[in-house]
Amino acid sequence: MKYLILALFLFLLFLLYFLRYPTPIIRKNNEDYVYSPAFGKIMNITYRDDNTLYISIFLSPTDIHYQFYPVSGLIKDLKYDCSGKFELAYELNKSNKNEKSIYTISNKNGNFIVYQIAGYLVRRISTYGKIGEKVDSGECMGIIYIGSRVDIIIPNSNKFKLLVKENELVKGFNSLLGHYM
């Protein structure tokens, strides 16, 4: 009985640690700055032929799992794709087919797309936004439970100055991915 109580107590501590919410910061609303939508490690940065920049951020089980709007703008679209699988989130090619929510946020620099991607252990993504809602960078957009991935597509990459690199740790709204020139 003593070990069961200890195990339950340790599990409760893990849940409290896992569901911790970072201290919010007040940031000036500027549509030219793009912040990290998640706390985690940048797994991949790819410039695409369609003048977009694709960044993948892996969230380990010890990272904060709330996501934040990377830019200020208007939510033009919000979809939940529940037809996917639950592959390991750090395996980029396999996990692209995972269950996910897809935000499209529009501002003067174009349409930014943010994917909240479920991982192997995850079975739930909570989204907080609504289509037509005006959002500011740094506001909470949702949470993915346990290990997962967040991808962002940045439009007009020829006018965007990237300030991060692969394998760099990012701390959500505290990390500036880059800005428009």
* 3-state DSSP of the chain: CHHHHHHHHHHHHHHHHHCCCCCCCCCCCCCCEEECCCEEEEEEEEECCCCCEEEEEEECCCCCCEEECCCCEEEEEEEEECCCECCCCCCHHHHCCECEEEEEEEECCEEEEEEEEECCCCCCEEECCCCCCEECCCCEEEEECCCEEEEEEECCHHHEEECCCCCCEEEHHHCEEEEEC
Q: Which one is catalytic: 72, 95, 148, 175?
A: 148
Contact 82, 99 (CB under 8 A): yes
Active site residue 148: yes
- How far from 71 is each of 4, 16, 37, 48, 154, CA to CA, in Å? 46, 28, 9, 20, 10
Catalytic residues: 148
